[in-house]
């Protein structure tokens, strides 16, 4: 018996049609969703970043400063990890990705650890690098996860349990069907043009947008056999990078505001030797994200490539993939940039 991706306490009467091909639809392969405690009304995902002109000038100060808050005893995040990426202007960015089980916990941490005071005191020009803070508070109705194995990533570290094998995956539109709010809400966004940034010299706050769709989509090839690793690195990863480069450099063609293809790194050496990457992208709404996946040659090449890959491995795939998706109201998003170049995140 297949499980429902939406946990029982978030199910309600559907007023909008589901996309599932038929009531007895059986996906071709298993996948799971993370289950969060029933009392959890939302969670928090934050990206705290330091931006450097090049990798070689990245000093340890920014990273150790941010780390000192994250390991504080005061409501420290339930999970965090260090990541890095080279952005659209060739800058090197070090980012702590952190999760809290509630907005109240995040606020307590921010205040009690001293992070808030430090963040608010930052002045452009005090440091050679830029800083950015992006915080998202998705209510559980506006959040969904999909894992091809029961291996936690991201918000999955905050789970209480795993679902059984779910029915709602393996067809276009299943992401929408897994979001509890989509039972009754079509989640349309508003296309807002972003004002040109005042420049690199300022602290800039960017307002949230109605039904902004955010995806973190991860790949982990740590436990692949040597044969699968080679196949992944030579066939899958190049098409994935092409797709991420397209969204980063030409995102406006598909209403994607920002895309970063990030490595999970060893915080001590900053080496990207964890065999894990992920894409983080901000789309104008769920429809534009769906449309890129279903219609654009770059995701179609990733998607089609994956089935070729699985076939070559006789379906013995050890690559782990997951994603988490949230669709947010304006007051569930916070973007602030200090001394960052104008192409950063939601500034562009
Ligand atoms: C869906 C493959 C990377 C966005 C899917 C599905 C597969 C797939 C097999 C169907 C999943 C299911 O419902 O069971 C892959 C592989 C990737 C990759 C192998 C990397 C190696 C990405 C990235 C993004 C992305 C980086 C976005 C930044 C999506 C979305 C869906 C999807 C939004 C859901 C579409 C829907 O249900 O309507 N992908 N993908 N994927 N993928 Fe990818």
Protein residue with least CA distance to atom 18, ligand 1? 302
Dihedral of the alpha carbons of 25, 179, 251, 288, in degrees to the nearest 10: 70
Measured between alpha carbons, how far is 181 from 11 in angstroms, rounded to an integer? 9
- Nearest to residue 201, comparing CAs of 305, 124, 314? 124
Give distance in angstroms: CA of 303 to centre of ligand 1. Answer: 7
- To which H or E segment does residue 295 belong? helix 286-295
Look at phi and psi of residue 250 and say left if phi exceeds 0, alpha if psi is from -120 to 50, else beta: alpha
Annotated catalytic residue, options 80, 169, 323, 341: 323
What SS3 state is found at 50?
A: strand
Question: In angstroms, what is the span from residue 141 Cα to ligand 1's centroid?
Answer: 21
Q: How far is CA 304 from CA 132, 282, 294, in A?
A: 35, 23, 11
Best residue among 2, 284, 306, 313 to mutate for probing ligand 1's pocket (most ligand atoms within 8 Å of CB) is: 306
* Residue range 85-121, pLDDT digits in tens: 999 999 999 999 999 999 999 999 999 999 999 999 9
Helical axes 237-250 vs 297-312, angle rounded to 10°: 170
What's the predicted TM-score (pTM) here? 0.97
The first and second tokens of residue 153, run together, are 């990533």
pLDDT at 196 over 70: no
Atom 11 of ligand 1, nearest CA residue: 170
Model ipTM value: 0.96
Whole-number Å distance between alpha carbons of 107 and 329:
19
Q: Is the CB of 175 under 6 A from ligand 1?
A: yes
% of the chain exceeding 90 in pLDDT: 91
């Amino acid at each position: 018996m297949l499980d429902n991706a939406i946990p029982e306490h978030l199910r309600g009467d559907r007023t909008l049609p589901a996309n599932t091909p038929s009531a007895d639809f059986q996906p071709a392969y298993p996948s799971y969703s993370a289950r969060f405690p029933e009392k959890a009304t939302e969670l928090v995902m934050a990206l705290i970043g330091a931006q450097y002109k090049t990798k070689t000038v990245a000093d340890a100060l920014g990273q150790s400063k941010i780390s000192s808050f994250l390991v504080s005893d005061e409501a420290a995040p339930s999970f965090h990890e260090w990541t890095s990426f080279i952005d659209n202007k060739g800058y090197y960015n070090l980012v702590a990705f952190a999760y809290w089980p509630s907005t109240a916990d995040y606020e307590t941490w921010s205040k009690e650890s001293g992070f808030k005071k430090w963040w608010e005191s930052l002045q452009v020009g005090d440091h050679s690098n830029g800083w950015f803070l992006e915080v998202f508070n998705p209510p559980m109705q506006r959040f969904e996860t999909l894992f091809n194995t029961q291996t936690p990533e991201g918000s999955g570290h905050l789970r209480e349990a795993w679902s059984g094998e779910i029915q709602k995956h393996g067809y276009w539109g299943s992401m929408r069907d897994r979001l509890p709010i989509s039972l009754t809400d079509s989640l349309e966004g508003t296309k807002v043009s972003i004002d040109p940034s005042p420049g690199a010299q300022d602290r800039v706050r960017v307002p949230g947008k109605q039904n902004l769709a955010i995806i973190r989509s991860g790949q982990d090839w740590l436990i692949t056999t040597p044969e699968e690793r080679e196949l992944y690195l030579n066939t899958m990863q190049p098409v994935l990078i092409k797709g991420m480069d397209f969204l980063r450099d030409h995102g406006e063609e598909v209403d994607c505001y920002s895309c970063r293809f990030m490595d999970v790194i060893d915080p001590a050496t900053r080496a990207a030797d964890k065999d894990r990457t992920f894409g983080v992208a901000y789309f104008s709404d769920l429809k534009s994200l769906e449309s890129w996946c279903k219609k654009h040659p770059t995701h179609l090449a990733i998607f089609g490539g994956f089935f070729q890959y699985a076939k070559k491995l006789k379906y013995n795939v050890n690559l782990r993939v997951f994603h988490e998706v949230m669709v947010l109201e304006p007051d569930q998003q916070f973007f602030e940039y200090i001394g960052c170049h104008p192409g950063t995140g939601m500034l562009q």
